[in-house]
Structure 1
């Protein structure tokens, strides 16, 4: 066999099929586009599904890819075996109604035996037991002997979904030798041992399965193949498993440097090595494709990967964060093939570091909470942690379930795994529902009766605000397709051409009017429909509109211009964010309205006031420069070559539209824009906030709205100055002076309250109670802060030699609680921290502390008296 690296095998495969006139496409993102059935791309054919189903035309009838994939079903098994993994690369060649079995089989054999130089005597093949055609090709044309062709049943060698394209498979196996085999003399492909490894699966999609289960022959059958790159590399490099091939070894070497431990020295440590090696690849590629850690969906998968890898780093003795450094190894090794890794390097490292740092904080918090659960279980006389608490540790605090198990084992306790799995299933159902309810910008025109996919609208609104148009379709909400709409009726109108922009790319749809002879129609909104349709949501003000009638279409020009200002400024804002915060910033969503704009972007900490000021200044200076806004229509490849920014998961056609603002900003965009940056007028940031883990949002205004906003603030400043009886320039000094005066008065008031309370110490002591021989002072003194309560408690302790003190105060609707105990009572079992915790719970709060002194806070002032009433019973319980 030819000795080759993983990266060389990938190149050899793609070059081979390029020679066979295949279009070699780059890997599609891991985040599926317009496919709610998948959380992440998990197979080479997954991004090409529409081509196989015939719902989209492929760019070429022959294609080949090396597709990055993530499979999440076995995350918990990764590391425990040398077989399981989450991230992998899938090599594949595809035919959409072009070549079929003969070519697919011949090329597969040619690649295996000539390009990879795998000895023929080590190769076996399998075919579907009824696929005589494939059998004949392997046996008669290729020359594989009958004893090396294995016929397998439907479970092994037939690929199908519930309905749609399907067909038999043929697999290529490699004999790894007797040392990997079993004792069965008839051992061959299909056996459960490790001797025969399936490396390449050829799927012959020759049927169309209907809803009745019938297999109808396709007039143009397809080819779908898949060969795992890591698996074939394992064979070529004669490694025992995927973790011992060249690319994986380089990761393990870095982990050895970080940990000071050696792979292969300990089974327990080897598991951690494998977990980190697999997960670091998966997390790096996921972040590179725009996934952000979260508590649901694909973000939840990423969070699990980062936290599981981080924990295994701790098990190897790595104390500090290390995954962000380790991701550099992935970027260096795979960045030439997957350029998005290099382009988003700073973002990848930042996301991983922030999430790992959070986990460092939560793991300490999780251990503290688990210790509390252990105490509760002990007090209840049980030895099992219930599923809800275990899942809360896992889901809310990011505490791994296996770590929970390990700690519980130290206390001879177990976990209710059925209860935990039940909570996990509920979470998955919530995530699935959220995925199904995902945003889809195209209206499903079939739902409103527009089944005729030949109806299309020509958009003329980039250059024109008006057009002479013809009605080509009418829909009434309660009746579907109709011939006309009458005065006072609402519905949807399709035109052959229109100046109305349909809501897309975050920009709202145009409004305006349609006019004809004795006809006046108000357009309230414009949205996209499938197949190039533009839907005008209308109300007929006058007359009656019919199909084929000629109308004059006119958009609301002021609204369009205001919207265009806000859209163009988002491009300037995007670049300014990169200039100030770093290249890791990328757009994560937007909303462009005529009166305001909203821009979501990836960033992993709050944006400071100084940074916001700098961003706002850059944008306004670019506005003042009067930069020309030009539109260039070109290919996606040329657009990227000129440096145009694109959304990572956006789907683009053969021709794309680049919006260029001077030399400052270049973005792919289908929206409407002004002609020069000076037309924006003014830009003002109104608010900046976080909306999700690693995602921030800026809200802003431009033009007249920005002016009105600033003028409104100026008017408020004048009113404040009048109230303060000060000049506008002096209001800050005036407010600072008043604040200082108020603070001094509050301090004096607190001092007087404390003195008043201390003066009543003798009255408080005189009201002491005795519980089982223990002196108890339990009082409510409102208006005191926590410091005042502690001072009062210390004074009481000085006057009583043996006492438990529980004090409560309500101040500014806040509940403050303090508990103290003398040393002799602690020796008798009294614990001030445990008492105050239970008292605080009655008021909806929490807290705790040492046996001799503790404090807590509450939420409900109306429950304070009830809370103090339980103190005697708590004392009795502790004495027992």
Structure 2
């Protein structure tokens, strides 16, 4: 019965191809145009537009093996043999084609004839009211009645709020009595390890309305999901996903790196399983273009990496080590996901940088957390303040879940409400970061589109065409006409206007009749193959069924075409010069410029930028024909066309081929040969996020304008520096730089002399508190750097000094800055707490480390009282620590 994981995956996909299904590759883990999800968490998730009827599927039968990430049960990963954050989901889908009979009989055929699972060990469940499913299992399949268990709505009915829903049927495998709990009630549905559910068949046959009424769908759908790791464990006769052939080598590599033997120590085994699971998730997430951050899906990745790193520390690995496991993960998954091979080095870099950054702060953070927890326990409390959790997150990079996990190990809970209050601003940014472009038109207008209505795009061949108005909408309702000054939305039977997609902005232009003109403001893809034109009527009236001249602004389109073709040349050049990992992470193509985001772990050098520009311009100068080839998706991939993994492609695709230099799937508009681009110039290179760089560039006339402008600037610089030739500019600037350095050094010497004189006065007025001198420096100045320099001078010279600076910068603004030596900290001084209390008296806020802290207030009224409080706090701390 043994079968490898790769074999199971391939046999499943081949089986459903034989049943007329289109095999699609796994979609990216990044949801496309779905704000409801951070990450793809189920096989059907990327196909939602097809289920909802928003987009037309390339075929009505589809099969996939989809990589997925789920984190709700992340704290159970490693503690059980079943839970994981990364998994693969096998699925077969029908969009209004076949239904229950085919789904059930094919599932049974695959399980018994392809996998050859013993019939006597298979059980199924159905929804208690689904007699149709029972009849198919019992009469068509021939499964005994006692092997078909009816379950309630909670177990066997799939629904999420309103919308499409329906009953489901699950297939279980009996692993044997020795795996059971031994209870008389043990059976299908028991929580023990005996009966394992491995395939769920969902029959989407109803549409639930807001009143809870279930309406039968005209075209019911099929959505199935079989966990690949779970069926692999069954086929390979092992107890957990960590023992299957594709995961076990990763687990063994971790044991090799950490020096621990799996199965000898339960606590260590938990850590090994956590790392085994999390490294798989991290590799696939980074491979799909996700990077560690404090927002959205980047935060999920950071949380996973840092949780794995902490478990590595529990196994004694204090240095970065996760990158050492990447090659093993890639080797395990290279057959179904060959793209991981070319991205391997990039993934290692991202992992190493993130883990190293975490290691730089984790020791300090752990010490703070452990001290706080010890204090809580001493006071016989069990709540960690939200402020502490936020500080650990904001300053030391601790994900909240990591803080909660560590605290929970000590019997302490975190004040979630306090943390959430402080995190509100970051959460708002995260929500904004998740907001993606909608490609199904404007959501705020009331659109009902009949099935027979569609728009034919003729913009590849023409800039102008005669079109008929099929539909018109205002924001609130469908309309039959619009008059001068109105803004409305129009659907044409055919259009030359390119709708915004694939990074290319929409065309501008006009719709004209003999008596009216409408300015086209924006163009988006609408539902069911329509294109929506947002227009403003600038003259006369326009009505439904009228014939209009649809005219694209030719100059803007031509400039956009140059930039789009140049984007393809740039993408190919980056991969040739930097490596295959430098793949597209996002783009913007408009008439004025192009913007291209790509995966790379460091800033480009000047030399690399020159190389890239030279390569792109070389291809432009060769005037290579730009071929536009329409073909089916499979043929395009076989041709070697580059596809973006977060894009959904229809079965007929467009390939843009530029000689032997570049070949990509792209629906955008392009020039006929590269010579039409004219020239290419990079104007900026910057960081967008960790591991993502951004290039902005211009082409054609914009390059000429750029050069003219630079010549003007150069002339102004020459005049200001009073030089004749450009070659003299650098020499003159070097002279000025040397002069500035000399003046700054001289200023520093004067500052140090002033500080030494000032120190005498400060020491003469210092308070002697036990063995320490408490220096209070009240000063009116804008130069806080001078005060910091003075503070550092005191700390260098005197380990028995504690200094508090009260800096008044205007009538009301006050800055508080406090520092002390490590000896003072040992005696009980905590500058962070004292500054917080002092600023509190002033109505402000402050905090920091025990040896250095700062804060401020916009109220100077209670300044003397604040100083007196500071003296009391320091005196109390010194005496308390004595």
Query: Could you tell me the TM-score, scaled by structure 2's length?
Result: 0.86
Query: 1:770, 1:310 → 2: CA distance?
Result: 47
The 3-state SS of whatever aligns with 2:200 is strand
Q: How does 1:820-859 map to 2 (within 5 A)?
A: none
Match of 2:29 in 1: 30
Deviation at 1:336, TM superposition (A): 0.9
- Aligned partner of 2:514 in structure 1 is 517
Match of 1:499 among 476, 496, 501: 496
- SS of corresponding position for 2:190: coil
2:466 maps to 1:468 = yes
Match of 2:70 in 1: 71
Aligned pairs for 1:56-455 (under 5 A) are: 56-140=55-139, 142-185=141-184, 187-217=186-216, 221-367=220-366, 369-370=368-369, 384-394=383-393, 397-399=396-398, 404=403, 414-416=412-414, 418-419=416-417, 433-434=431-432, 437-444=435-442, 447=445, 449=447, 451-452=449-450, 454-455=452-453
Residues in 2 aligned to 1:366 and 1:716: alpha-carbon distance in whole angstroms: 49
Q: 2:553 aligns with which of 553, 556, 560?
A: 556
Closer/same/farther in 2, CA of residues 373 and 157 from structure 1, 3 Å limit: closer
Q: Distance in 2 between matches of 1:519 and 1:125?
A: 66
Quote the offset at 1:251 in angstroms: 1.6
In 2, distance between residues paired with 1:299 and 1:629?
Answer: 37
> What is the SS of the residue equivalent to 1:283?
helix
For 1:58 and 1:794, how far apart are their aligned partners in 2? 70
SS of residue in 2 equivalent to 1:573: helix
Q: 1:614 aligns with which of 600, 611, 616?
A: 611
**RMSD between superposed Cα atoms in Å:** 4.3
Q: Which residue of the partner structure matches residue 703 of structure 1?
A: 700
Aligned to 2:41: 42
Superimposed CA distance per residue, residues 655-682 of structure 1 (whole angstroms, 9 cap, x where no aligned partner): 2222233332222222222233233233
Q: Judging changes above 3 Å, is the alpha-carbon distance between structure 1 residues 678 and 120 closer, same or farther for their aligned structure 2 residues?
A: closer
Relative to structure 1, the CA distance from residue 116 to residue 503 in structure 2 (aligned partners, 3 Å threshold; closer, same or farther) is closer
Secondary structure of 1:447's partner? coil
Q: Kindly indicate whether the alpha-carbon contact (under 8 Å) linking 1:252 and 1:273 is maintained by their aligned counterparts in 2.
A: yes
Shift in alpha-carbon separation, 1:376–1:518, aligned structure 2, 3 A: same
C-alpha contact 2:105 2:141 (8 A) present in aligned 1: yes
Asked if structure 2 preserves the Cα contact closer than 8 Å seen for 1:385 and 1:413, the reply is no
- Contact kept? 1:22, 1:64, Cα under 8 Å: yes
Query: Counterpart of 2:456?
Result: 458
Cα separation, partners in 2 of 1:809 and 1:670, compared to 1, 3 Å: same
Change (3 A) 1:662 1:148: closer
Paired with 1:822 and 1:500, the residues of 2 have a C-alpha distance of 69
Cα distance change, pair 91–137 in 1 and its aligned pair in 2 (3 A): same
Contact 1:777 1:806 in 2 (8 A): yes
Choose which of 747, 768, 786 in structure 1 pairs with 2:745.
Answer: 747
Using the alignment, how far apart are the partners of 1:822 and 1:670 within structure 2?
Answer: 64
Return the alpha-carbon distance in structure 2 between the equivalents of residues 350 and 586 of structure 1. Answer: 15
1:205-239 superposed Cα distances (whole Å, 9 cap, x missing partner): 45554554444555665444333222222222222
Say whether residues 1:644 and 2:641 are aligned partners: yes
1:711 deviation in Å? 2.3
In the TM superposition, what are the counterparts of 1:704-783 in structure 2 within 5 Å? 704-727=701-724, 728-755=726-753, 758=756, 767=765, 777-779=775-777
CA apart distance, 1:740:
1.5
In 1, Cα distance between equivalents of 2:871 and 2:848: 19
Whether contact under 8 Å (2:404, 2:413) holds in the other structure is yes
CA distance in 2, matches of 1:95, 1:543: 48
Tell me the distance in 2 between the aligned counterparts of 1:209 and 1:821.
Answer: 68
Aligned to 2:528: 531
The CA distance in 2 between the partners of 1:688 and 1:631, in whole Å, is 30
Aligned partners of 1:786 and 1:818 also within 8 Å: no
**C-alpha contact 2:654 2:665 (8 A) present in aligned 1:** yes
SS at structure 2 position matched to 1:246: coil
Q: Does the aligned pair in 2 maintain the 1:390–1:415 contact within 8 Å? A: no
Instruction: Return 8-17 or 200-209, whichever deviates more.
Output: 200-209
Whole-Å Cα distance in 2 between the matches of residues 241 and 768 of structure 1?
68
For 2:363 and 2:608, how far apart are their aligned partners in 1? 32
Q: Secondary structure at the match of 2:88?
A: strand
* Equivalent position SS for 1:506: coil
Any conservation in 1 of the 2:829–2:850 contact (CA below 8 Å)?
no
* Offset of residue 389 of structure 1: 2.2
If asked which structure has higher relative contact order (CA below 8 Å, sep 6+), I would say: 2
Q: Give the whole-Å Cα distance in 2 for the aligned partners of 1:166 and 1:154.
A: 12
Shift of 1:492: 4.0
Three-state SS of the structure 2 residue aligned to 1:598 is strand
Per-residue Cα deviation, 1:611-643 (whole angstroms, up to 9, x for no partner): 323323332333333333222222222222233
Query: Between Structure 1 and Structure 2, whose CA radius of gyration is higher?
Result: 1
Deviations 1:239-283 (A, max 9, x none): 222222222222211111111101101010010111112222222
Q: Which residue does 2:790 correspond to in 1?
A: 789
- Equivalent residue, structure 1, for 2:689: 692
1:227 is paired with a residue whose SS is strand
Write the distance in 2 (CA, Å) between the matches of 1:326 and 1:670: 38
Secondary structure of the equivalent of 2:551? strand
The answer to whether the 8 Å contact 2:449/2:528 transfers is no
Taking structure 1 as reference, are residues 189 and 702 closer, same or farther at Cα in structure 2, changes over 3 Å only?
A: same
Q: 1:763 to 1:161 in 2, by over 3 A?
A: closer
Q: Structure 2 vs 1, CA of residues 309 and 830 (structure 1 numbering), >3 Å: closer, same or farther?
A: closer
Indicate the SS of the match to 1:361: helix
User: What runs of 5+ residues in structure 1 fail to find an aligned partner?
Assistant: none
Quick one: distance in 2 between partners of 1:140 and 1:450?
42
Structure 2 counterpart of 1:12: 11
Deviation at 1:734, TM superposition (A): 1.4
Q: Tell me whether 271-280 or 466-475 shows the greater mean CA deviation.
A: 466-475
Measure the CA separation in 2 of the matches of 1:445 and 1:383: 47
Distance, in Å, in 1 between the alignment partners of 2:849 and 2:423 is 34
Q: Whole-Å Cα distance in 1 between the matches of residues 247 and 486 of structure 2? A: 66
Instruction: Give the match's secondary structure for 2:225.
Output: strand
Structure 1 residues 755 and 394: CA distance shift in structure 2, 3 A:
closer
